[in-house]
Amino acid sequence: MNSENPIWALISTFGLMSLFAVGGAAAAVPEMHRIAVDVHHWMTEKQFADAYAIAQLSPGPNVLIVTLIGYAVAGIPGALAATLAMCLPTALLAYYVSRLLSRPSQSRWPALIQTALVPLSIGLMAASALILAQSTDRTVAALLLTAMVAVVASISRINPLWLLLAGGLFGFAGIV
């Protein structure tokens, strides 16, 4: 890592990634995992799973898992650099595209592209679930807890925060 400035590595990594994050933050998780754990060894498997859990439990957009990755790499400057790199480029892109599209004439292509992206972003999010489950669900009890939360969240409208807190309670009790 000495040959490369870590801040610049964060900016180039997340700046590029944000432009390919079709379907939002959850769809980018597999790529974040690949880069942070497999390619750069910024974090261990376990630290990454923890970072995801912390980001889910905290207020604000879930994309802020990049703040935790950035901090692990380069402290507070790393946290800020990663956050801005992940959020600013696409926000500016959205600003310019929204100005271009404010004339309603060419409304056919956005609808078509949007439809085409739906299966891709679902595939990406399913991949996120698999990758996170592989590092988290290492015991039968853990797997059962994940399955239970998945079922409850699928069939009810319960606030996700309660399910996360319940998970924390199970962990505190030493069950998973």
Q: Whole-number minimum distance, CB 40 to other proteins, in Å?
A: 13
Q: Whole-number minimum distance, CB 29 to other proteins, in Å?
A: 8
Within positions 18 to 57, which residues make up the interface with other proteins, using CB under 8 A? 18-22, 24-26, 28, 30-31, 34, 38, 47, 49-57
Binding other proteins (rule: CB under 8 A), the pick from 1, 5, 12, 97 is: 97
For the CA atoms of 135, 139, 144, 149, the dihedral, rounded to the nearest 10 degrees, stands at -30
Contact 142, 136 (CB under 8 A): yes
Q: Whole-number minimum distance, CB 53 to other proteins, in Å?
A: 4
**168 contacts other proteins (rule: CB under 8 A):** yes
Within positions 64 to 83, which residues make up the interface with other proteins, using CB under 8 A? 64, 67-68, 71-72, 76, 79-80, 83
User: Can you spell out the DSSP letters for 84-105?
Assistant: HHHHHHHHHHHHHHHHHTTSGG
Using CB under 8 A as the binding criterion, the count of chain residues that bind other proteins stands at 105
Query: C-alpha angle with apex 130: 146 to 45, nearest 5 degrees?
Result: 90
C-alpha distances (whole Å) from 170 to each of 91, 145, 146, 148 are: 39, 9, 11, 12
Binding other proteins (rule: CB under 8 A), the pick from 3, 103, 105, 112 is: 112
**117 contacts other proteins (rule: CB under 8 A):** yes
Q: Is 4 exposed, middle or buried (0-12, 13-18, 19+ CB in 10 A)?
A: exposed
Binding other proteins (rule: CB under 8 A), the pick from 4, 5, 8, 130 is: 130
**128 contacts other proteins (rule: CB under 8 A):** yes
**98 contacts other proteins (rule: CB under 8 A):** yes
Q: Whole-number minimum distance, CB 2 to other proteins, in Å?
A: 21
Q: Name the DSSP letter for residue 8.
A: H
Q: 143: which residues sit within 8 A by CB, 6+ positions away? A: 133, 137
**113 contacts other proteins (rule: CB under 8 A):** yes
**60 contacts other proteins (rule: CB under 8 A):** yes
Q: Find where tokens 């380069």 sit.
A: 74
Q: Residue 166's CB: how many other CB atoms inside 10 A?
A: 15
